[in-house]
């Protein structure tokens, strides 16, 4: 039962990270579509897009690591005798 609670908690973390990723991607796309009036605005926009790109890459990495942790927990739950299946 403990494994199931931990798996559910990890799944919640994945959902939160995915939500944050979607928001960041939306913000980046909106920024990318905004017009610029001069070189200064172009540089500022590029810097902000680069910051958002780094954030997107970081969130993707966190999602991958968290999903890996979830898979490992599910594998452990299945291997341990006496544990009920997390799939039920």
Q: Is residue 85 part of a domain?
A: no
Mean pLDDT of 60-87: 80
Q: Is residue 87 part of a domain?
A: no
pLDDT tens readout for residues 8-50: 999 999 999 999 999 999 999 999 999 999 999 999 999 999 9
Q: Is residue 63 part of a domain?
A: yes
Residue in the structure block whose two tokens are 């009036």: 37
Q: How confident is the model at residue 4 (pLDDT cuts 50, 70, 90)?
A: confident
Helix axes 2-33, 39-79, angle to 10 degrees: 160
Report, in angstroms and rounded to the nearest whole number, the Rg of the chain calculated over CA atoms.
19
Q: Is residue 84 part of a domain?
A: no
Q: Is residue 49 part of a domain?
A: yes
Residue closest to 12 by CA, chosen among 67, 71, 76: 67
Q: Is residue 18 part of a domain?
A: yes
Q: Is residue 68 part of a domain?
A: yes
Q: Is the pLDDT of residue 85 over 60?
A: no
pLDDT given for residue 66 in this prediction: 95
Number of domains the chain contains: 1
Q: How confident is the model at residue 84 (pLDDT cuts 50, 70, 90)?
A: low
Q: Is residue 88 part of a domain?
A: no
For residue 65, the enclosing domain spans: 2-78
């Amino acid at each position: 039962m403990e494994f199931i609670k931990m798996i559910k908690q990890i799944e919640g973390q994945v959902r939160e990270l995915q939500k944050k990723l979607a928001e960041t991607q939306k913000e980046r796309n909106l920024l990318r579509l905004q017009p610029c009036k001069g070189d200064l605005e172009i540089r500022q926009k590029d810097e902000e897009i680069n910051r958002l790109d780094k954030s997107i890459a970081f969130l993707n990495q966190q999602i991958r690591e968290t999903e890996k942790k979830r898979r490992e927990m599910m594998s452990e739950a299945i291997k341990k005798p006496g544990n009920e299946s997390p799939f039920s």
